[in-house]
Structure 1
Amino acid sequence: MSTLKSHSKDSKLPALTPGKLRLYSMRFCPFAQRTRLVLAHKKIEFETVNVDLKSKPDWFLDRNPLGLVPVLEQDDKVLYESVITCDYLDDVYPDNKLNPSDPYQQARDRILFELYGKVVTNYYGTLRSQGKDKEVLENLWKSMEPFEKAIKERGTYFGGDKPTMIDYFIWPWFERMGVVSVMMPGVDLMPAEKFPNLTAWVEVMKSLPAVKETMFDTPTHVSFYKSYAAGKPNYDLGL
């Protein structure tokens, strides 16, 4: 049983099916999108239960006291946090492997991934400042430079000729880069002249089946962000 509309505080827990993998998610959450990307890439059968993160059901908090998505549940197993759930799926479902088999390369990928926290922080800083804080924007560009350099050296994807885990880990925020340009005309978070290789990577990523299956277009992201900024996030936008 998959549900699209979000479950709020007074809702009942949808019945669990023995052996069935379930993802607790929120349609517009970039962290949950990481897990959805891995599920789609690996063609894993699962069901989705979306959660109202402003009015969380007690049964959801029983599964993750932090109250965050994504959460995976299967029989007596419950896991949360996006990176943990993605690594777990890659280990348990070995087809279409995403983490490098070479321990050194996997470690190098994680070093690069650790730098991505600055990109996320500066992205949201730019949103909060409505693009008016030049220092925040310059900090964003500076934090993106290691990724521009890495993709130039590695090839089409961060995994070379095919996507690897880090491609999916960082994609959700690149999908949302266009939100700022629409809401704040004249502000470009990723100028092509500064980031030609990342710009090319974004276009290639858009063609991947897993990305097509999980992404929303920029106008939809803009509509959701406006509802979120107004304090009334529309988790069921478009349904």
Structure 2
Amino acid sequence: MNPPALTLVSHLLCPYVQRAAIALAEKNVPFERVVIDLANKPDWFVKLSPLGKVPLLRVPRPDGGGEAILFESNVICEYIEETQGGPRLHPQDPLQRAEHRAWMEFGSAILADLWGYETTRDVGVFEQKRQALAAKFERVEAALAGGPFFAGERFSLVDAVFAPVFRYFELFDTLHDSHVFDRTPKVNAWRLALRERSSVRNAVVPDYRKHLRAFLEKHEAHLLTLASGD
């Protein structure tokens, strides 16, 4: 059997890597996954990655002239959509497609707030990020229709972007009730539907939650203080 043509360079916890892994799985595209430690980046990775970040997608050039290195998760997802078979992950209508791309960017903005929410030791910063997350999810709530996914019955790249966001809360919800989703019943239903999707479940290693917990402990996150009741 020939090895997979595509190689996804990853990190255990990176939500942006998960986007690409989900898109590849939804398209039924075989790929090799190479996991690196971003705290100890291999020399070959430093040479390949212009920004020193994951994901990277290593793509053999069709003419046999080496390989292309794609970076930035949304770019990788768009390439997968445009070049691979399987179900479409973007709407065919140009306006709807543009709207979906805009919501993908909104998902990235939520991840920026999540970074501060999960890593900060500061009570004030934690509350600021909690409120920002709640407000953003209320904006998402207003955009959702009948479900179960972002655009209804069809899974899309917007779902691939938001699934890693919601995955964080599978651990966070066991530590502390943030009330982030108190006013978003449709978002709650959406994140539960995504959690059951095989492409979403398989986008991370089985012990992902253990690694995420260790990450919080390393940063002495305020979330863990709330969990301990201190």
TM-score by length of structure 1 reads 0.79
* Range with greater deviation from structure 2 (131-140 or 35-44): 131-140
**Larger RCO (alpha carbons 8 Å, 6+ apart):** 2
Q: Deviations over 1:126-166 (max 9, x none)?
A: 22345833333212111111211112x25321121121110
Q: Deviations over 1:70-115 (max 9, x none)?
A: 1111332211111111110111103211011111101111222333
Does residue 208 of structure 2 align to residue 223 of structure 1?
A: no
Q: Which residue of 2 aligns with 1:139?
A: 132
Q: Which residue of 2 aligns with 1:209?
A: 198
Q: Which residue of 2 aligns with 1:166?
A: 158
- Give 1:226 shift: 3.0
Does residue 182 of structure 2 align to residue 197 of structure 1?
A: no
Q: Deviations over 1:7-36 (max 9, x none)?
A: xxxxxxxxxx88721111112111111111
* Range with greater deviation from structure 2 (210-219 or 49-58): 210-219
State the secondary structure of the residue aligned to 2:155: coil
* Range with greater deviation from structure 2 (71-80 or 209-218): 209-218
* Range with greater deviation from structure 2 (64-73 or 217-226): 217-226
Listed as ranges, the gaps of 5+ residues in structure 2 are: 61-66, 221-230
Listed as ranges, the gaps of 5+ residues in structure 1 are: 1-16, 231-239
State the secondary structure of the residue aligned to 2:202: helix
- Contact 1:31–1:70 (Cα < 8 Å) also in 2: yes
Q: Which residue of 2 aligns with 1:37?
A: 22
Q: Which residue of 1 aligns with 2:39?
A: 54
Structure with greater helix share of residues? 2
AA in 2 matched with 1:61: V
* Range with greater deviation from structure 2 (110-119 or 34-43): 110-119
Count of aligned positions: 211
Q: Deviations over 1:25-68 (max 9, x none)?
A: 11211111111111111111111111111111111112113111
Change (3 A) 1:168 1:47: same
- Contact 1:179–1:221 (Cα < 8 Å) also in 2: no
Q: Which residue, 121, 141, 166 being the options, matches 1:148?
A: 141
- Give 1:116 shift: 2.8
Change (3 A) 1:118 1:21: closer
Map 1:107-122 to 2 at 5 A: 107-122=98-113
- Contact 1:116–1:143 (Cα < 8 Å) also in 2: no
Q: Distance in 1 between matches of 2:32 and 2:96?
A: 32
AA in 2 matched with 1:142: A
- Give 1:229 shift: 2.1
Q: Deviations over 1:179-235 (max 9, x none)?
A: 33444x3x42533x31111111111111212012124577425424235526xxxxx
Change (3 A) 1:219 1:169: closer
